[in-house]
Amino acid sequence: MVETAPLILDIGVVLLLAATLGYIARRLGLPAIVGYLLTGLMVSPFTPGYTAGPEQLSLLADIGVVLLLFEVGIEINLPKLGKRQRALLWESPLQIAIGMLIGTPVFMLLGISTLGSLLLALGVAMSSSVVIVNITRSRGRTTDPATEEALLAWSVIQDIVGVAVASIILVLFGNDQRSLPQALGGLIGFGITAYVSARILPSVLRRVRNSPDLFLIYSVAIGLVLAAVGATVFGIPMALAAFVAGLAIHVGEDTDEVRRVLLPFRDLFAVLFFVLIGSLIQPDLIAQALPFAAVLIVLLIVLKTLPTYLIIKFTDIQSRPMQHAVGLSQLGEFSFVLGSAALTAGAISSDQFSGILIAVVISIVGSSVIVRLVGQSNKLLR
């Protein structure tokens, strides 16, 4: 028990500080995410004062993102969405393609290798599922149901396409030991596993529906096990594996109950994702990293915000164009993962990686605040 006391202390201090700063942020009219990011900066090893163990934060943040995307996957009904807003199935990939085709040569002109340029361009093209869920589920949200549905679906399709593209990039240009057929086979293999699970697990949940404790344990365990299997057996990033598992296990009449029991755990652990991002920022590298962060923000606006606005504006998607575009205008967890992969491969420098972290923070805060203001202005114009 004594050996685990430091871990318990870290978790307790981080959550207490995150709750306090999140509360202050909301009182100031800002999203609680701002407080969580500031918490990470305060407990990081790069700032004076209390330091939380990065390994523990990383583990708990991974659990939070897995549960969050598993819950989002459960909520999304792809057949229903395909009937109501079928154009999303090509519009989201089109937005990614625009970002990749223009962003890659821009990064190469900045002297970054082909691998680094491809990963960075894809990172800029991707949005944050975690942030979008918060935008569409926050009590202070100003989005309407149609925009919420379109944002979540767009983000979902982004994740699916993005992971497939990243797998191909890493196989062709990176250090991935798998061949391209093996990487694609992993995606297909996990899809089959999730489909088989979807045929079996709903009956298990129905059998324990009247036992709240067992229903909770099964619901959490299903998401964690399938995510881990996707990562260890099929080479799929855990967050995406959790999302695909949620999509497959859309358990009909039990869906709402699964979501209800997962929400407290999802919210508790997802906070630590933002804390982790904040904890990785090195203050002494901010000055050198700011120019690259500015480049990323400009490219985000030009290659994602503007194209998304035009796509929504001139198609029949049921969503508010400006609010939809701003809601997607952030770098997020996938951008962070791709940046980490580029850094590990030596394709970008530590200054550039710090620039990615700064751009993640600025874009998350900016999109979370501006998307509310856009929604409020829409109400005033009515």
Please write the tens of the pLDDT for every residue from 253-278.
Answer: 566 677 677 777 667 767 877 888 88
Q: How many residues does the chain have?
A: 382
Whether the predicted pLDDT of 189 surpasses 90:
no
Please state, in angstroms and as integers, the Cα–Cα distance from residue 87 to each residue in 133, 162, 189, 325, following that order.
21, 18, 27, 16
Whether the predicted pLDDT of 96 surpasses 60:
yes
Quick one: average pLDDT of 113-133?
A: 91
As a dihedral over the C-alpha atoms of residue 202, residue 154, residue 361, residue 164, rounded to 10 degrees, the angle is 80
Mean pLDDT of the chain: 82
Q: What pLDDT, on a 0 to 100 scale, did the predictor assign at position 208?
A: 81
Q: Look up residue 313 and give its two tokens.
A: 């504006």
Q: What pLDDT, on a 0 to 100 scale, did the predictor assign at position 252?
A: 53
Rg (CA), the chain: 20
- Global pTM value: 0.82
Whether the predicted pLDDT of 13 surpasses 70:
yes
Residue in this structure with the two tokens 């090509």, named with its chain if needed: 90
What is the DSSP annotation of 87-133? THHHHHHHHHHHHHHHHHHHHHHTT--HHHHHHHHHHHH---HHHHH
160 contacts 88 by C-beta, under 8 angstroms: no
Backbone angles phi, psi at 46, to 5 degrees: -95, 0
Residue % of the chain over a pLDDT of 70: 87
DSSP tally for the chain: helices H, then strands E: 17, 0
Q: What pLDDT, on a 0 to 100 scale, did the predictor assign at position 85?
A: 66
Q: What pLDDT, on a 0 to 100 scale, did the predictor assign at position 306?
A: 96
Instruction: List Cβ neighbours of 94 (8 Å cut-off, separation of 6 or more).
Output: 307, 311
Q: What pLDDT, on a 0 to 100 scale, did the predictor assign at position 176?
A: 62
Residue in this structure with the two tokens 């990033």, named with its chain if needed: 237
Using CA of residue 256, residue 164, residue 196, residue 217, what is the dihedral sign?
A: negative
Hey, what amino acid is at 378?
A: N
Q: What pLDDT, on a 0 to 100 scale, did the predictor assign at position 202?
A: 73
Quick one: average pLDDT of 181-201?
A: 77
Q: Which one has a higher pLDDT value, 95 or 31?
A: 95
Whether the predicted pLDDT of 232 surpasses 70:
yes
Q: What pLDDT, on a 0 to 100 scale, did the predictor assign at position 97?
A: 95
CA pair distance 277, 44, nearest whole angstrom: 10
Q: Which domains does the chain have, with CATH numbers?
A: 5-128+158-381 (1.20.1530.20)
Quick one: average pLDDT of 62-70?
A: 73
Residue in this structure with the two tokens 């399938």, named with its chain if needed: 226
Whether the predicted pLDDT of 198 surpasses 80:
no
Whether the predicted pLDDT of 210 surpasses 70:
yes
Which contacts qualify for 135-142: CB closer than 8 Å, 24 or more apart?
A: 135/327, 135/367, 135/368, 135/371, 136/327, 138/31, 140/26, 140/31, 140/372, 141/372, 141/375, 142/323, 142/371, 142/372, 142/374, 142/375, 142/376, 142/378, 142/379
Find the range with the poorest average confidence among 170-184, 239-253, 321-335, 347-361.
239-253
CA pair distance 261, 184, nearest whole angstrom: 34
Q: What pLDDT, on a 0 to 100 scale, did the predictor assign at position 77?
A: 65
Q: Look up residue 7 and give its two tokens.
A: 């871990």
Hey, what amino acid is at 68?
A: L
As a dihedral over the C-alpha atoms of residue 282, residue 283, residue 284, residue 286, rounded to 10 degrees, the angle is 90
Q: Which residues of 37-73 are buried (b: 16+ CB within 10 A; e: fewer)?
A: bbbbbbbbeebeeeebbeebbeebbbbbbbbbbbbbb
Residue 117: which pLDDT band, with cuts at 50, 70 and 90? very high
What single-letter DSSP state applies at residue 305? I
